[in-house]
Amino acid sequence: MAARIYRESTQMRQIVEPESAALAARHASAEQRKTILLAAEPIRREPFGKRAMIAADFTFHATILQATGNMMLAQLQGLIIALLEFSYPAGAKFVPKGEVTRSGHINVAKAIMKRDEDDARRLMTEMLQRNDAIAQATKTGHR
């Protein structure tokens, strides 16, 4: 069941998050851009700890949704926190140690800071493709 939750939450995120990142690059306020970039820093276990890492990850993704300028996408914040809360423990069984890195998040944040919609979309897609590769490996039993 944990593998299925991880796979399906990754699928949902792939549907929503790349375009949300592009829209955030177009519409985010200066304050939202700063929040997104600052949230990317503690998305790692050390020295912040698991709870702080999850909180930063939620802030990162929720702020991107808010920054899209689309009130329907902004309403998905609750869904994203639920997906993260489910996928962290589920994914922990399958994600290699150290695989959850802040570099992908920082790269997305920098693209949003530069207002580069295409880069923000591409980088978010790449980040989620790494999750998808792990999710697919759970299906075949390679992890």
Look up the domain containing 127 and give its range: 2-140
Q: Report CA dihedral (110, 114, 115, 116) to the nearest 10 degrees.
A: -80
Q: How many domains does the chain divide into?
A: 1
pLDDT digits (tens, 9 = 90+) for 62-100: 999 999 999 999 999 998 888 888 777 666 666 655 555
Cβ pair 34, 109 in contact under 8 A:
no
Q: What is the CATH number of the domain that holds 135?
A: 1.20.120.530
What is the structure's pLDDT at 88?
Answer: 72
Q: What is the pTM of this model?
A: 0.86
Q: Which residue has the tokens 């580069």?
A: 116
Q: How many CB atoms sit inside 10 A of residue 2's CB? A: 15
Is the model's pLDDT at 120 over the cut of 90?
A: yes
